[in-house]
Amino acid sequence: MPLDQSTYKIPVARTVADLRETVSAWRAAGLRIGFVPTMGALHEGHLSLVDLAAQHADKVVVSIFVNPTQFAPEEDLEAYPRTEPDDAAKLAKRPSDLIFGPNAAEMYPEGYDLQINVGGVSEGLETDHRPHFFGGVATVVAKLLCQVAPDVAIFGEKDYQQLQVIKKLVRDLSLPVEIIGGATGREADGLAMSSRNVYLTEDERARAVQLSAALKAVHDQMKSGATIDAARDLGLSILRAAGFDPIDYLEVRDADTLAPLSNTSRRARILAAAKLGTTRLIDNIDLEI
Ligand code: PAF
């Protein structure tokens, strides 16, 4: 199938073969390739990652693939927003050069079996609540990195544990790609941008801001000398008062290993995941210690 040059203002590769043909030509011309993997439903947070990729590369590939293997059967795979024409229109206004938009059969052909388990930093936090998640993410990202073969790939810090999992994946597989984290895009009131925010009702959207407020409260408490337990208690009370239920976790962890803080920890990360109505939100912030 040739590259689709006509549907959108930006070319789309639907197959790995077409993707490789374009990227190989760029590489043969001595160009540096940047990559931003996404599941579409693009918002300003994603687009800022595209801008960041362009600062590190001559050509930027953006993949749009709602990866079924990172959703559990009871999760929102069917309902997940699919807005490819809108996504392409947004990308056409940013420094992006190619969309890779495969279908599930292209990514997981008949007989596909490989599943990657990253271990280490993928254990705990998200995995305690979504045990399938990082296996699906690591596997699809490993495939995408092999398919695109970029020099640099950008992942949002909003999914902070995912970013650490990808760094470990790349290290453990010796993949020749630099992984860079992009700052979390935030709405004016502080809510982390997420494709899932569209699920929030008006009332939930108003209360959702308390997730970033709780992280900030934990941060400020820790900075003024409170213990982790005392700081967490305050954060949890803010989340409960806003109606978050269940609160999957609110933790202060080592920023690199995501293990509990130790004497050797140089930086910390405050991470939380909780549900508001049917929508699960996650967020995290840095804590200098
Ligand atoms: O963060 C996401 O959007 C997804 O987990 C990713 C990295 C594109 C893999 O499907």
Domain locations in the chain as residue ranges? 12-182, 195-284
Assess whether pLDDT exceeds 80 at residue 34: yes
Q: Across residues 145-170, what is the average pLDDT?
A: 98
What pLDDT is stored for residue 55 in this prediction? 98
- Which of 82, 159, 282 to mutate to test ligand 1, by most ligand atoms within 8 A of the CB atom? 159
Q: Nearest residue CA, atom 3 of ligand 1?
A: 38
What pLDDT is stored for residue 1 in this prediction? 60
What pLDDT is stored for residue 160 in this prediction? 98
Which residues have a catalytic role annotated? 46
Ligand 1 nearest-atom number relative to CA 70:
10
- Which of 36, 39, 63, 130 to mutate to test ligand 1, by most ligand atoms within 8 A of the CB atom? 39
Q: Nearest residue CA, atom 6 of ligand 1?
A: 38
**CA-wise closest residue to 283 among 200, 220, 190, 178:** 190
Query: What distance in Å separates the CA atoms of residue 253 and residue 287, rounded to the nearest whole number?
Result: 9
**CA-wise closest residue to 283 among 197, 201, 168:** 197
CATH number for the 195-284 domain, one of 3.40.50.670, 1.10.3720.10, 1.25.40.10, 3.30.1300.10?
Answer: 3.30.1300.10
Query: In terms of C-beta distances under 8 Å and separation of at least 24 residues, what long-range contacts does 250-256 make, across chains too?
Result: 250/214, 250/218, 250/274, 251/125, 252/218, 252/222, 252/228, 252/287, 253/125, 255/286, 255/287, 256/164
The CA R_g of the chain, rounded to the nearest whole Å, is 19
Going from the Cα of 276 to the center of ligand 1, the distance in angstroms, rounded, reads 22
- How many Cβ atoms sit within 10 Å of the Cβ of residue 209? 17
Residues with C-beta less than 6 Å from any ligand 1 atom = 37-39, 67, 70, 137, 140-141, 159, 162
The set of residues, in sequence order, having a beta carbon less than 8 Å from that of 267 and lying 6+ positions away, is 254, 255, 256, 286, 287, 288, 289
The pTM of the full predicted model, rounded to 2 decimals, is 0.96
Going from the Cα of 238 to the center of ligand 1, the distance in angstroms, rounded, reads 29
pLDDT band at 6 (very low <50, low <70, confident <90, very high): confident
* Burial of 141 from C-beta contacts in 10 A (0-12 / 13-18 / 19+): buried
What pLDDT is stored for residue 5 in this prediction? 78
Q: At which residue do the structure tokens 């409170």 appear? A: 226
Please answer whether residues 65 and 14 qualify as being in contact, where contact means their C-beta atoms are separated by less than 8 angstroms: no
Going from the Cα of 229 to the center of ligand 1, the distance in angstroms, rounded, reads 32
pLDDT digits (tens, 9 = 90+) for 100-121: 999 999 999 999 999 999 999 9
The set of residues, in sequence order, having a beta carbon less than 8 Å from that of 158 and lying 6+ positions away, is 45, 184, 185, 192, 193, 194, 282, 283, 284
Assess whether pLDDT exceeds 90 at residue 289: no
pLDDT band at 3 (very low <50, low <70, confident <90, very high): confident
Going from the Cα of 122 to the center of ligand 1, the distance in angstroms, rounded, reads 15
**247 φ, ψ (degrees, to nearest 5):** -95, 110
pLDDT digits (tens, 9 = 90+) for 226-236: 999 999 999 99
In the chain, count of helices (H) and strands (E)? 9, 9
Assess whether pLDDT exceeds 90 at residue 276: yes
Q: Positive or negative, the Cα torsion across 91, 104, 37, 267?
A: positive
| Domains 12-182 and 195-284 equal at CATH topology level | no
Assess whether pLDDT exceeds 90 at residue 164: yes
Helix (H, G, I), strand (E, B) or coil at 15: coil
DSSP state of 39: -
Mean pLDDT, the chain, rounded, equals 97
What pLDDT is stored for residue 126 in this prediction? 98
What pLDDT is stored for residue 2 in this prediction? 65
Helix (H, G, I), strand (E, B) or coil at 276: strand
DSSP state of 10: S
CATH topology of domain 12-182: Rossmann fold (3.40.50)
pLDDT band at 157 (very low <50, low <70, confident <90, very high): very high
